[in-house]
């Protein structure tokens, strides 16, 4: 049985089409990353999956049930982008409270240790740093030992060390055959922690596959230089070039073969200044992946 199924799911907020006819199946035991720029529809999709947002059309099921039923049965744990923590109680009390809501919770010590909170257990949950509070949100998400763990940008506000230990815990949690879905903006996080990456942009899935497949689709390099007032004819026919953008005296070439492009560029007689070669950034890649779908 699939952990998650979206069938023709859409969501509009007044005039904003946040999610457009989403079809998606996630098998039990997979760790899946949801990648995409701001406003892509990641949180909206996660909201529908948790029964917090009602779809405008289509059906979402979680382990074959409605999201509400799956959540009520304790099959789902979630870490949301903007959950605030209860005031006046300790970390330990928060975790104990959440454990009490689930039929077969994880032992308290295990939750605290996985979330790296053992030494903060007696601290007040509303008096923690941003990164520490994120760890408490993670503890809340796993306290019930849910079969499906949904995390919306879990490492936002975490420092490098916290991130590392967070992902190690997440992988440990996933290892028992559990299903994980997490939203992120970071390609490396998706690459290192997911079996499958789904890229969303403008409410649609624009790529879906292993990290290798996605990176190839999002691949390519950018060659940038100052071109000034010189004629720009022929830039698009340089070897490897798949796109040319000119803005304020700067030329930006997308290329599949930066070495060949740069060599030909110098040979072309154009006076090249401030040359820069870099990997296409993800935002660019998302836009190129959405291609003609944009309006
Ligand atoms: N409650 C709401 N009311 C109106 N519009 C909304 C609401 N929530 C989201 N939207 C709009 O829906 C679209 C998708 O938003 P969503 O929060 O799902 O994106 P996201 O991929 O999670 O982005 P981010 O990376 O910034 O978290 C955006 O255009 C957003 O402005
Ligand atoms: Mg979001």
In terms of domains, do 109 and 255 share one? no
Last residue of a domain, which of 195, 216, 237?
A: 216
Ligand 1 mutation target, pool 18, 182, 283, most atoms within 8 A of CB? 18
Atom 24 of ligand 1: nearest residue by CA position: 38
Ligand 1 mutation target, pool 6, 16, 154, 203, most atoms within 8 A of CB? 16
Tokens linked to 190: 């998706």
In terms of domains, do 99 and 200 share one? yes
Q: What is the pLDDT along the chain (295 residues), one digit of tens a residue?
A: 899 999 999 999 999 999 999 999 999 999 999 998 889 999 999 999 999 999 999 999 999 999 999 999 999 999 987 777 778 899 999 999 999 999 999 999 999 999 999 999 999 998 898 889 999 999 999 999 999 999 999 998 888 888 999 999 999 999 888 999 999 988 788 888 999 999 998 899 988 998 777 766 666 788 999 999 999 889 999 999 988 999 999 999 988 888 999 999 999 999 999 999 887 555 566 566 655 334 3
Residue whose C-alpha is closest to residue 215's, from 281, 166, 275, 149:
281
Domain of residue 158, residue span: 2-216
What ranges make up the beta strands (E) of the chain? 2-13, 16-27, 31-35, 57-62, 76-79, 148-152, 179-184, 196-201, 204-209, 221-226, 241-247, 250-255, 273-279
Q: Which residues line ligand 1 (CB under 6 A)?
A: 13, 16, 18, 36, 38-44, 81
In terms of domains, do 188 and 232 share one? no
Centre of ligand 2 from the C-alpha of residue 234, in Å? 41
Q: Which residues contact 281 (CB under 8 A, 6 or more apart)?
A: none
Q: Report every protein residue that has its C-beta within 5 angstroms of ion ligand 2.
A: 42-43
Q: What is the CATH number of the domain that holds 252?
A: 3.30.70
In terms of domains, do 237 and 203 share one? no
In terms of domains, do 200 and 225 share one? no
- The total number of structural domains that make up the chain: 2
Q: Could you tell me the pTM of the whole model? A: 0.79
44 CA closest ligand 1 atom index: 18
Query: Which ligand does the CA of 201 lie closest to?
Result: 1
19 CA closest ligand 1 atom index: 14
């Amino acid at each position: 049985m699939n952990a998650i199924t979206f069938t023709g799911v859409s969501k509009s907020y007044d005039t904003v089409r946040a999610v457009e006819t989403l079809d998606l199946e996630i098998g039990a035991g997979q760790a899946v990353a949801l990648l995409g720029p701001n406003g892509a529809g990641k949180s909206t999709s996660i909201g529908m999956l948790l029964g917090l947002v009602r779809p405008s059309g289509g059906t979402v099921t979680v382990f074959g049930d409605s999201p509400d039923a799956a959540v009520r049965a304790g099959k789902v744990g979630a870490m949301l982008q903007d959950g605030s923590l209860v005031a006046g109680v300790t970390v330990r009390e928060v975790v104990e409270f959440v454990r009490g809501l689930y039929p077969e919770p994880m032992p308290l010590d295990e939750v605290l240790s996985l979330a790296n909170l053992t030494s903060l257990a007696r601290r007040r949950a509303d008096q923690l740093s941003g990164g520490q509070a994120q760890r408490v949100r993670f503890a809340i998400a796993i306290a019930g030992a849910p079969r499906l763990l949904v995390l919306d940008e879990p490492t936002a506000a975490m420092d490098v060390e916290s991130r590392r230990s967070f992902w190690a815990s997440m992988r440990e949690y996933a290892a028992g055959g559990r299903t994980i879905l997490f939203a992120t903006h970071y390609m490396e996080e998706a690459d290192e922690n997911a079996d499958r990456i789904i890229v969303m942009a403008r409410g649609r899935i624009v790529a879906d596959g292993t990290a290798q497949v996605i990176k190839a689709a999002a691949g390519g390099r950018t060659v940038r230089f100052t071109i000034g007032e010189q004629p720009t004819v022929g830039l698009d026919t340089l070897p490897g070039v798949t796109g040319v953008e000119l803005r304020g005296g700067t030329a930006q070439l997308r290329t599949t073969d930066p070495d060949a492009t740069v060599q030909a560029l110098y040979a072309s007689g154009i006076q090249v200044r401030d040359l820069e070669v870099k990997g296409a950034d993800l935002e660019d890649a998302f836009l190129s992946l959405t291609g003609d779908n944009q309006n």
